[in-house]
Structure 1
Amino acid sequence: MDTEIRRHFRFNFWVNLLDGGFFGFALGFASFSTVLPLYVATMSDSAVLVGLIPAIHIVGWQLPQLFTAQRVQALNRFKPWVLSMTIHERIPFLFLGLIAWLSPTLEKTTALWLTFVLLTWQGLGGGLTANAWQNMIGKIIPSEYRATFFGVQSAGANLLGSAGAALAGLILERLAFPGNFALCFLLASLMMGLSFLFISLTREPEHQVETRVGDSKAFWAEVRIILTQDKPFTWYLVGRIIFQFSMMAFAFYTVYAVQERGMGKFEAGIMTSVLFITQVIANPLLGWLADRWKRQPVLEFGAFAVVLSALLAWLAPALNWFYLVMILTGIANTVFWAIGLAITLEFGPESQRPTYVGLANTLIAPAAALSPLVGGWLADQWGYPATFAASAFLGLIALGVLHFFVRSPEREHSASTTPTSG
């Protein structure tokens, strides 16, 4: 099977890179941080509802992964599951366009309910897809290229996502409501369709499995054994959870710079651009570095970037320092996502990889949901500097855990191996 995988490596690399790029392009038109909050704000002034939008997306992607692991582990090909489940994270944007178009004729409460039902459907669709998708990538992309792949794919998604967001801004500004939002969601749906086309072209050979579907007691016993006996992986999970909490300050840097340090909105926009550009550059660079060097030091570098970003935001003597804060934020985001995905796929035997992937995501979900709430509570009680100080402190703890307790498994490979083209 290894020969077959390497024969199709280049083809699979490119079609999945295009899948990620157009997926990011779609999310630019229906951004969970700008477009969708603006749309919900046309129907409600509730900050809680606005805050729920990214939370549903993140938790929906992470939470289901352990609960699908048993079924995914019994598959001899991951692609059919991916294609059947990923429809549920793509189709909702088409219906959002329809709801947006009809919103003037609907009761606001009804439109809100329908919107959040669709967002929940989309989030859970991503979560039902995620475990099988990660295992498919782990199967078709050789170990020595995985961090590079995730980095390049994330860079493409960020680049096209920023272009989609810019176009969405023009549409929202120049077209009247509700046509502006309806067009954004329709374009997101179209880009999702193109993304689906490319992922459907993936060439994945079959592999042998132990069929254990239905034996739930054995599966959960396996989960307990992994958590109690695989100490490096357990410490990796602890490090990831603390890492997630340490990033709670990221959501407040721009607000703090504008509201309390006097930064103008134009400069705030430039800061956002710096964040996007950093992630576009850092994703492939750090991915390549992790593959060619070691993944563990790159992971620790990401935690160190969290500490520096929070300290600089807290102690910055001038507004110009916030550009460096954003660069460090982009580096930390890149490491947590791209390098984290690559390292997770290295733990455990391949037959148990879906269980490891599920644990590495589902157990992080509560931290992903709670960290911005904790950061906001700290800011409300003692001001934004308290949130930044807490983030820096937690970042130091994460760095200590990752350095002293986590031993990232490095698959035996030769970085000079060049797969033949498909």
Structure 2
Amino acid sequence: MDKQQIQRRNYAAFLVHAFFLALTMNFIDINTVVPNMLAESGATALHMGILSSIMIGGASFMQLLFAGIIFPLKRKKPALLAGIYLRVAALMALGIFVRTLSGTGLWKVWTILALMTLFSFSGAFANISYTDILGRTIEATRRKRLLTVKQLIASVGVIASALLVKVILSSLSYPRNYATLFLLAGGLLMLATIGFWMIREEDAPMGEQLSLSQRFAAFGKVIKEDRNMRLYLLLINTSGVILSTIPFLILYARTRFPIDGSLTGTFLLVQMAGSLLANTLLTFFSQGQRYRRLLYLFVALAFATPLIALLSSASPLSFSLVFLLTGSTSALYQIVAPGVLLEISTDENRPLYAGLAGAGSLMNILYPILAGFLVPVLGFGMVFALTSIYILLGIYAAFAIRCERIS
């Protein structure tokens, strides 16, 4: 098999994985399904903040530990598959546990959070290998196209799964509806590994095993010497907190009107429509390999999302438009965040940079917990307004980052 055939095979492999992964993540959507399930189980704003901190910021931070383990490996695919199969086990256990629930209780909320932690952290372990394999097996000229097409294919697939989620949430009572979703998610995630079994991976450049102190020293050196990485960290620590803000939208909506499984499914459908719309437009109108305009657009949408949530009227129909925006914003982030990281790193330092990107995403850990404390004191209006102002700080990073393939 020649080089071009291997490129086509690897390109297809990432798209196969993206399709099944998209189906999986709909069943355990962090913005709609899981927050409403937690709320029905008796969770408070603080619990929602902990969930967001674990699923978004905490998972990224764990890459600090995992990068040192994975960096010296010649082949990253075994580590990638191990992380994914651990996620499958966590989902299956969560589905079985939720199926046994009756009523509410804080011990149930904490058990759910523990299983979601296992699911999230094993995903962080897999992501280090994923980023490195993507950078080494896909040519630079094909990367942005792959990320955009991957998002488009995923968006098309999740529309069908979102419809199924709505049917399950509407037709089954709590907790059977959520248990069914999690068990199906585990099965679909197992199917997603088909794509990674297809990948042809060559040996990575050799790296040495680093202790935790050495990793911190290496991270400090990168931050000191690489301005682009400093700006990248600024971006994900400001505008990037929109990801850990979205789960609070369900809690805010529950203060304005009742939300049942059917309405949760509707919000998910609208969110997926927003993602599909954004990816379709980017596929057809985003030319070349440049990221600058996408960075500006991401910051603008992230800034607007909390404000539009506050301005929407107290009805499910108008509030669903907020989830159209969250779908578009999340889709953009899934393109610009890995895309920019790939361009400012090299094959040799990419695992280190991926680990630093995760470890340096501190605000996605701190913000949701802080918001969970502040919401009962200041109210959603003040917290969302302050969040939008903070998100806007990322515009400087979007303007200042410099790389041949970014601007």
Provide the TM-score with structure 1 as the length reference.
0.80
Distance in 2, matches of 1:226 and 1:90, equals 34
List runs of 5+ in structure 2 lacking aligned partners: none
Residue-by-residue CA offset, 1:48-91 (whole Å, 9 max, x unaligned): 44553343222343112122223322222221211122211111
Asked if residue 358 in structure 1 is aligned to residue 337 in structure 2, the reply is: no
Distance in 2, matches of 1:49 and 1:187, equals 25
What corresponds to 1:188 in structure 2? 185
What corresponds to 1:76 in structure 2? 74
Distance in 1, matches of 2:406 and 2:43, equals 51
Question: 390, 394, 397: which is aligned to 1:394?
Answer: 390
Question: Are the structure 2 counterparts of residues 75 and 290 from structure 1 closer, same or farther at C-alpha, using a change threshold of 3 Å?
Answer: farther
What corresponds to 2:363 in structure 1? 367
What corresponds to 2:272 in structure 1? 276
What corresponds to 2:234 in structure 1? 238
Residue-by-residue CA offset, 1:351-407 (whole Å, 9 max, x unaligned): 11111111112211x31133334455565445444334323422332112321x321
Distance in 2, matches of 1:43 and 1:258, equals 14
Answer whether contact 1:148 1:291 (CA < 8 A) is retained: no
Answer whether contact 2:166 2:265 (CA < 8 A) is retained: no
Answer whether contact 2:59 2:123 (CA < 8 A) is retained: yes
What corresponds to 1:302 in structure 2? 298
Asked if residue 345 in structure 1 is aligned to residue 342 in structure 2, the reply is: yes
What corresponds to 2:327 in structure 1? 330
Answer whether contact 1:15 1:202 (CA < 8 A) is retained: yes
The alpha-carbon deviation at position 224 of structure 1 amounts to 1.7
- The AA in structure 2 aligned to 1:80 is P
Question: Are the structure 2 counterparts of residues 211 and 259 from structure 1 closer, same or farther at C-alpha, using a change threshold of 3 Å?
Answer: closer
What corresponds to 1:416 in structure 2? none
- The AA in structure 1 aligned to 2:385 is A
- Please give the secondary structure, in 1, of the residue aligned with 2:343: coil
Question: Are the structure 2 counterparts of residues 64 and 165 from structure 1 closer, same or farther at C-alpha, using a change threshold of 3 Å?
Answer: same
Between 1:344-353 and 1:198-207, the stretch displaced more is 198-207
Residue-by-residue CA offset, 1:88-130 (whole Å, 9 max, x unaligned): 11111112233234446x9967755543332221111111111
Asked if residue 92 in structure 1 is aligned to residue 67 in structure 2, the reply is: no
Asked if residue 154 in structure 1 is aligned to residue 151 in structure 2, the reply is: yes
Question: 10, 28, 31: which is aligned to 2:29?
Answer: 31
- Please give the secondary structure, in 1, of the residue aligned with 2:125: helix
> What percent identity do the matched residue pairs reach?
22
- The AA in structure 2 aligned to 1:76 is K
- Please give the secondary structure, in 1, of the residue aligned with 2:349: helix
Question: 162, 165, 168: which is aligned to 2:165?
Answer: 168
What corresponds to 1:417 in structure 2? none
- The AA in structure 1 aligned to 2:390 is L
Highest Rg: 1 or 2? 1
Distance in 1, matches of 2:20 and 2:172, equals 24
Question: Are the structure 2 counterparts of residues 103 and 11 from structure 1 closer, same or farther at C-alpha, using a change threshold of 3 Å?
Answer: same
What do you get for the CA RMSD once the two structures are aligned? 3.8
Residue-by-residue CA offset, 1:234-277 (whole Å, 9 max, x unaligned): 122112211124666645556667856x8999999766544321
Answer whether contact 2:239 2:303 (CA < 8 A) is retained: no
The alpha-carbon deviation at position 230 of structure 1 amounts to 0.8
What corresponds to 2:60 in structure 1? 62
Answer whether contact 1:287 1:338 (CA < 8 A) is retained: no
Between 1:191-200 and 1:157-166, the stretch displaced more is 157-166
What corresponds to 2:401 in structure 1? 406
- Count of equivalent residues: 405
What corresponds to 2:113 in structure 1? 116
Answer whether contact 2:18 2:153 (CA < 8 A) is retained: yes
- The AA in structure 2 aligned to 1:190 is G
- Please give the secondary structure, in 2, of the residue aligned with 1:210: coil
Question: Are the structure 2 counterparts of residues 296 and 107 from structure 1 closer, same or farther at C-alpha, using a change threshold of 3 Å?
Answer: closer
Asked if residue 8 in structure 1 is aligned to residue 6 in structure 2, the reply is: yes
Provide the TM-score with structure 2 as the length reference.
0.83
Answer whether contact 2:155 2:279 (CA < 8 A) is retained: no
Question: Are the structure 2 counterparts of residues 196 and 347 from structure 1 closer, same or farther at C-alpha, using a change threshold of 3 Å?
Answer: same
Distance in 2, matches of 1:21 and 1:89, equals 17
Answer whether contact 2:291 2:406 (CA < 8 A) is retained: no
Between 1:296-305 and 1:157-166, the stretch displaced more is 157-166
The alpha-carbon deviation at position 326 of structure 1 amounts to 4.9
The alpha-carbon deviation at position 210 of structure 1 amounts to 3.0
List runs of 5+ in structure 1 lacking aligned partners: 413-422
- Please give the secondary structure, in 1, of the residue aligned with 2:382: helix
Question: Are the structure 2 counterparts of residues 183 and 32 from structure 1 closer, same or farther at C-alpha, using a change threshold of 3 Å?
Answer: same
- Please give the secondary structure, in 2, of the residue aligned with 1:212: coil
Distance in 2, matches of 1:250 and 1:114, equals 22
The alpha-carbon deviation at position 46 of structure 1 amounts to 4.5
What corresponds to 1:419 in structure 2? none
Question: Are the structure 2 counterparts of residues 88 and 174 from structure 1 closer, same or farther at C-alpha, using a change threshold of 3 Å?
Answer: same
The alpha-carbon deviation at position 212 of structure 1 amounts to 0.7
Residue-by-residue CA offset, 1:255-303 (whole Å, 9 max, x unaligned): 667856x899999976654432121232354367666151122112211
- The AA in structure 1 aligned to 2:10 is N
Answer whether contact 1:63 1:361 (CA < 8 A) is retained: yes
What corresponds to 1:415 in structure 2? none
The alpha-carbon deviation at position 345 of structure 1 amounts to 1.1
Question: Are the structure 2 counterparts of residues 34 and 245 from structure 1 closer, same or farther at C-alpha, using a change threshold of 3 Å?
Answer: closer
Distance in 2, matches of 1:235 and 1:242, equals 11
The alpha-carbon deviation at position 9 of structure 1 amounts to 2.3
Question: Are the structure 2 counterparts of residues 114 and 306 from structure 1 closer, same or farther at C-alpha, using a change threshold of 3 Å?
Answer: closer
- The AA in structure 2 aligned to 1:350 is D
